[in-house]
Structure 1
Amino acid sequence: MSELPVDYRVAQAVGLAGSAWLAGNIASYSLSVVPSLSQHHKDGQLSTSQATKLWATLYNHGKTQNPPISVLTASGYLYLAWSVRSGSSLYQLVSPNASALYSTAAIIVMSIVPFTLIGMISTNNALHEKANTAPDAMSGENPAVEVQGLLQSWTSLNAVRSLLPLAATLVGIFASVG
């Protein structure tokens, strides 16, 4: 394997490190950040308005940070897939299914976007609506209980989303060593 060129090794590092980083970054919101925010809200240390506004700020940080990392990571995997495609000079140096596996890793990494847009949109929209509502204008029987439910739902959905780049990392590792 030492015959593989430096650009190939760099692309492996970008793909593997990028998807592993994304998995950890996304998971940290579900494992620590939002549960802490939710607990402070439940304990009365944050109002419902403050909790939703903080969630919206956190969401926007992730929304601006993670897509570029996802694109860079997927690009690394796609470069690897292209580099080892059938007929390429590197094809004989890697496992025969490496191109398909790297392509799969790229697709899995980018699947966080449709997962967010399809699977999380209603929860995201509900939390954004609460964040943009004046504290005295919050409607519903018990806005605090509703927000707690939304935060719990978001935490679970986001935890599932974090498994996508983790799966891409595992596929990328398999492609690299297989």
Structure 2
Amino acid sequence: MIEAEVKIRARGSPGDVIDWFKKMGFREVGECFEEDHYFTHPCRDFKSTDEALRYRIEKCNDSVKYFLTYKGPRRSMGVVKVRDEIEVGFDQSTFASLIEVFRRLGFVDRYVVRKRRIAMSKPGLLAYIDIVEDLGLFVELEGILDEEITKKIVSSEWFSGFVGKTYLEMLLEK
């Protein structure tokens, strides 16, 4: 699968950003807490290859989901970041066993990114309002981003600039 996204630094409160998206015709889909653990490996430098291998624990309401995700090198198309992405979901026992296999093969889950994510949608476009631990407020957009909505975003009170880096890269720079 190909992932295409735009990341934006936001200012103000999450509620203000959510209200803005509602005025633009988005509906709130749900809220989750996500904890992403990024692997390193002694034989492959994911930073130099611009790849990522992570597992995610996603807690939404009363459910917990587990995912393993590979992200390929980024290709930039203006403010849009495009990359290959392979994601597989698992039940808890399978997931725990799989992570143990990775550890025994030399992978180390060295870095963690935690965020509260509010998902919003309208036809053809998803917006995620992310409150990232130790980084702050961001918006990620996935889907068809036309010129009209882009102009509205850039002129909004909450817009604070496009971001080309991942949350992990920003945390490591701190």
The normalised TM-score by structure 2 is 0.29
Q: Which one has a larger percent helix, Structure 1 or Structure 2? A: 1
Q: Looking at CA atoms only, which structure, 1 or 2, has the larger radius of gyration?
A: 1
Q: Which has the higher contact order (CA 8 A, sep 6+)?
A: 1
Q: Which one has a larger percent strand, Structure 1 or Structure 2? A: 2
